[in-house]
Amino acid sequence: MAKSYIFSKRYINNLFKDSSARSLASRLKRKVTKLPPRVPGGSSIADIALTKRFRLTPLNEAERELLADPQTLDLKESYQKNIENFIGTVKVPVGLAGPLRVNGLHAQGDYYVPLATSEAALVASYHRGSLLISEAGGCSSILLSEGVSRAPGFIFNNLSEVGLFVKWCVENLETFKEEAHKTTNHGRMQDMKVNVDGNHVYLIFEYKTGDASGQNMVTFATEAVVTYIVANAPIKPVHYFIEANLSGDKKASTQSFHSVRGKKVTAEVVLPKELVEKYLHTTPELMVKYWSISAIGGVLSGCIGTQGHYANGLAALYLACGQDVACVAESAIGITRLELTTEGHLYACVTLPNIMVGTVGGGTKLPSQQACLKILGFSGSGHAAAFAEVCAGLILAGELSIQGAICAHHFSRAHQKLARPTHGNEGV
């Protein structure tokens, strides 16, 4: 992105302060020399493979055990299908927030939510918001819709070929569904959208993925469909690609913001004025004023949606529960809204169109992640919809807590107290 003249001049001056243009060019020049040994072993988790990999690192024996500790080595078989070039595990602290009371279509009850993070004050913030919501009787949370897409792209010579190809595809949608369903017992193709850009065609296949998050499932299904298309279409594409970057996979996009990627969920709560004052040390009126200026700030900055910090809670929850953490890129968009009721209470809601969660497959079967899902009561099939509704409740708790801290002028104080403690912190 373009930078101002003053910034660029200052940066260039600092860049050449300690080195000449010739020395800088020498440092940046390609170096075609012999490479060091490649990391050996691929997906092997055998002891000899670990030993060979560790030889490439500067770690001594004690430091190696920080990654490959006895428990990790005892459980290493369980990691084999989730990692390549394995050398151990990284231990991220896990804390509990709650209870969080959720009154949903699928999630009903009081939940203790595991959050994995190294950021001080994060768990405390979500914990406070959860207690506030629960004491008010809980939040209402509804799964509105669901779907995961994959968007193959096809290149043709001209628009005439595009027209004939699209006509054939629309006429054969049911056959595409049959081909996709051969690859999975749980996923189902729901629909197909068509996008044409000159001689390019994007077919956006939308799937329901059951209790799995579904990225791999829809990839395998789409590959089967694309194979059928290339073999049977009367007009052959010049080139084709299984994903042409129109699905919104692992990125924030206005397309998924207006529709759904994963699970679209909304949650709401009405907080009596006295509870806002008790837990957040501020008032509903000031909370709404802050929401107003922060919402406009989000618009001015070009945010997709307007919200405070969805990524904080989602990343911690995804990491703890074996989700694809990269999906926070698309999951952490949405809208937070605060209003005053006629009685002077605080109405708050969040809507998240892209919650990418599952309770089977992927990292959900790893030992620690299984334990975290069991804490929630969501281990195994039949729980993905409830999990998504709890996600929305958790995010609502985090939004209330951070906005309350800012209104009460406690935001920096909380981080300073919890991130730089002089002694143990106990209590709520």
Q: What is the CATH number of the domain that holds 298?
A: 3.90.770.10
Query: Active-site positions?
Result: 119, 324, 415
276 domain residue, yes or no: yes
Regarding whether 124 and 54 lie in a shared domain, the answer is: no
Residue 9 lies in a domain: no
What are 357-401's pLDDT values in tens digits? 999 999 999 999 999 999 999 999 999 999 999 999 999 999 999
Residue 370 lies in a domain: yes
State whether 343 and 292 are in the same domain. Answer: yes
- Examine the domain organization and report whether 217 and 267 are in the same domain: no
Of 241, 274, 298, which one is at a domain's C-terminal end?
A: 241
Q: What percent of the chain has pLDDT over 70?
A: 95
How does pLDDT run across 296-348, given as a tens digit for each residue?
Answer: 999 999 999 999 999 999 999 999 999 999 999 999 999 999 999 999 999 99
Same domain for 178 and 47: no
Q: Do 171 and 274 have their domain in common?
A: no
Same domain, 310 and 341: yes
282 & 344 share domain: yes
Query: The domain spanning residue 198 has which CATH number?
Result: 3.30.70.420
- The separation between the first and the last C-alpha atoms of the chain, rounded to the nearest angstrom, is 45
Residue 251 lies in a domain: no
Residue 90 to residue 57: CA distance in whole angstroms: 16
> Tens of pLDDT along 57-102?
999 999 999 999 999 999 999 999 999 999 999 999 999 999 999 9
Domain presence at residue 28: no
Structural domain contains residue 79: yes
Q: Which domain holds residue 269?
A: 94-145+263-419
User: Could you count the other beta carbons within 10 Å of the beta carbon of residue 252?
Assistant: 17
* Domain shared by 197 and 278, yes or no: no
| pLDDT tens string 260-292 | 999 999 999 999 999 999 999 999 999 999 999
Question: Quick check: 375 and 387 in contact, CB under 8 A?
Answer: no
* Nearest alpha carbon to residue 394 among 158, 97, 68, 80: 97
Cα–Cα distance between 302 and 304 in angstroms, integer?
7
Does 320 share its domain with 224? no
- What is the C-alpha separation between 55 and 87, in angstroms, rounded? 11
Alpha carbons within 13 angstroms on the beta-carbon side of residue 278 total: 12
More confident residue, 25 or 119: 119
Q: Which residues contact 202 (CB under 8 A, 6 or more apart)?
A: 151, 152, 153, 154, 194, 195, 196, 244, 246
Angle between helices 384-407 and 273-280 (to 10 degrees): 80
How many domains does one find in the chain? 3
Look at residue 256 and tell me if it is in a domain.
no
Residues 138 and 81 in one domain: no
Together in a domain, 189 and 79: no
Is 78 among the domain residues? yes
Asked whether residue 174 falls in the same domain as residue 284, the answer is: no
Instruction: Compute the mean pLDDT over every residue in the chain, rounded to the nearest whole number.
Output: 93
> Which residue among 73, 90, 107 closes a domain?
90
Summarize pLDDT for 10-45 with one digit per residue, the tens.
877 777 776 677 787 888 889 999 999 999 978 899
Q: Which of 101, 104, 94 is nearest to 132 (CA)?
A: 101
Cβ–Cβ under 8 Å, residues 80 and 43: yes
